[in-house]
Amino acid sequence: MNIIRDFPPNYSEIIKVFPIVPTIKTIVFTYGDAVYKPYKKGTLTDHVKVHEKTHEKQQGNDPAGWWNKYLSDPKFRLDQEVEAYRNQYRFFVNKNYNFKERAKLLDGIAGDLASDMYGGIISKNEAIELIRKGGD
């Protein structure tokens, strides 16, 4: 996983679908084996790396094709993100036994999944239920 401090090659397409993206200064993008981290300095947490590694595997040898489908198909996008957030949450739960920290992470990632960052494709409560199916 290469971390690049720049915007991904398809950034203009991303912001056409998700105009809120430029306002999210903590956002990262996976394109192939690279994670683009244009704003946030420092390193990625291990659980975020797990999330992004999931996207790398999902994209396989066709990141452009994956992104095209991701941007045009909300069901596909939801499926991809649920898998990535489940993996992220499962990893965190397996490494962290503090229930308050687990709850805080779940609340945060479910809020992200339910946000305009992904097109508002799910409610926060639905996101919590889908993510938890893979952890706890």
Residues 93-121: pLDDT tens digits? 999 999 999 999 999 999 999 999 999 99
Here the tokens at position 37 are 């981290």
> Is residue 75 helix, strand or coil?
helix
What's the count of helices (H) and strands (E) in the chain, helices before strands?
A: 6, 3
Q: Which two tokens stand for residue 19?
A: 């105009």
Structure-token pair, residue 9: 């090659």
Give the residue-averaged pLDDT of 78-91: 98
CB 127 within 8 A of CB 79: no
Dump pLDDT digits (tens) for 32-43. Answer: 999 999 986 778
E strands of the chain, at which residues?
2-4, 29-31, 34-36
Residue 56 has pLDDT above 70, yes or no: yes
pLDDT averaged over every residue in the chain: 95
Q: Which residues pair with 31 in a beta bridge?
A: 34
Per-domain boundaries in the chain: 2-132
